[in-house]
Amino acid sequence: MNSKSLILIVEDDAAVRNLMAVTLETRGYRYHLAQNGTEALIEATTHQPDVMLLDLGLPDMDGVEIIRKVRSWSGMPIIVISARSEDTDKVEALDAGADDYLTKPFSVNEMLARLRVALRRISTDQQPAIQENAVYDNGSLHIDYAAGCAYIGDSEIHLTPIEYKLLCLLAKNTGKVLTHNYILKEIWGSYSSSEVGSLRVFMAMLRKKLQSGDAAQPYIQTHIGIGYRMLRQEKNPEEAP
């Protein structure tokens, strides 16, 4: 489905917009363009793209507002693009329901890689067998939700209850960047910035335990100052879209 995927590009900077469009076109994607928030919402509702690439700094509307509006009726992956170096914008966008982010200036290869992650997430979500199953498989990582056990290959990983909850939360959101704020709320039911330190410790333990099998491919990606993401292990990372 990837080669026919429809991507909505929302960007007011014509040069960046054209570069993105040309890149997508040469890779066989279909795309639509929007120059501002109003156009973005019209395009999103009328054409229901597979993925939205959304610049946060638009002339008529805050990008975060667009995410909230789209999220009220659609789960389409949204990758935000921010020229601002401040992490708070990205965190706010992710907490509003964005899946991922790119910071300007970004390379076209980086953009294509993020797109592949987003498209893989929807193709996995659309397989009912996987959703209904009580198991999770990703590379050599296997979770048996019914039994409450996790494995790397054939060996069980011994996790504390919190580590197991963290692993399940990340697994259920594979491909999506989860903010510290979101994880703390989901696991501990509260959020305070002082708890980010404890989260980091739990995450370090969890990663160490997951690494025993194939250390070359980390499952959990750290986004400094932002959060974490479970990566889908690829058999062939160079696979064309």
To the nearest 10°, report the CA torsion of 82, 169, 45, 79: 20
Q: What is the largest CA-CA distance in the chain?
A: 54
Tokens, residue 126: 């659309």
* Region of 53-61, 64-72, 123-131, 146-154 interacting with Ca ion (CB under 5 A): 53-61
Q: Which residue, 86 or 239, is less far from Ca ion as judged by CB?
A: 86
Q: Which residue, 55 or 89, is less far from Ca ion as judged by CB?
A: 55
**Rounded Cα gap, residues 151 and 77, in angstroms:** 29
97 is a contact residue toward Ca ion (CB under 5 A): no
The CA-to-CA distance between both ends of the chain, in Å, stands at 9
List the x/- string, 205-234, binding to Ca ion by CB under 5 A.
------------------------------
Q: Is the peptide bond before 59 cis (omega within 30 degrees of 0)?
A: no
What's the Rg (C-alpha) of the chain? Answer: 18
Tell me how far, at minimum, the Cβ of 38 lies from Ca ion, in Å: 14
* Region of 48-56, 159-167, 207-215, 226-234 interacting with Ca ion (CB under 5 A): 48-56
Rounded to an integer, what is the distance from CA 176 to the centroid of its chain? 2
57 is a contact residue toward Ca ion (CB under 5 A): yes
Q: Which residue, 57 or 241, is less far from Ca ion as judged by CB?
A: 57
SS3 223: strand
Return the sign of the alpha-carbon dihedral for residues 9, 16, 173, 213: positive
**Residue 110: partners with Cβ closer than 8 Å, 6 or more residues away:** 102
* Region of 50-58, 123-131, 209-217, 218-226 interacting with Ca ion (CB under 5 A): 50-58
User: In terms of C-beta density within 10 A (0-12 exposed, 13-18 middle, 19 or more buried), how is residue 39 classed?
Assistant: middle
* Region of 7-15, 21-29, 40-48, 152-160 interacting with Ca ion (CB under 5 A): 7-15
Question: Hey, what amino acid is at 230?
Answer: M
Tell me how far, at minimum, the Cβ of 55 lies from Ca ion, in Å: 4
Tell me how far, at minimum, the Cβ of 8 lies from Ca ion, in Å: 15
Q: How many residues bind Ca ion (CB under 5 A)?
A: 3
62 is a contact residue toward Ca ion (CB under 5 A): no
12 is a contact residue toward Ca ion (CB under 5 A): yes
Tell me how far, at minimum, the Cβ of 114 lies from Ca ion, in Å: 18
125 is a contact residue toward Ca ion (CB under 5 A): no
Tell me how far, at minimum, the Cβ of 12 lies from Ca ion, in Å: 5
55 is a contact residue toward Ca ion (CB under 5 A): yes
**Residue 191: partners with Cβ closer than 8 Å, 6 or more residues away:** 180, 181, 184, 185
103 is a contact residue toward Ca ion (CB under 5 A): no
Question: Hey, what amino acid is at 125?
Answer: D
Residues that bind Ca ion (CB under 5 A): 12, 55, 57
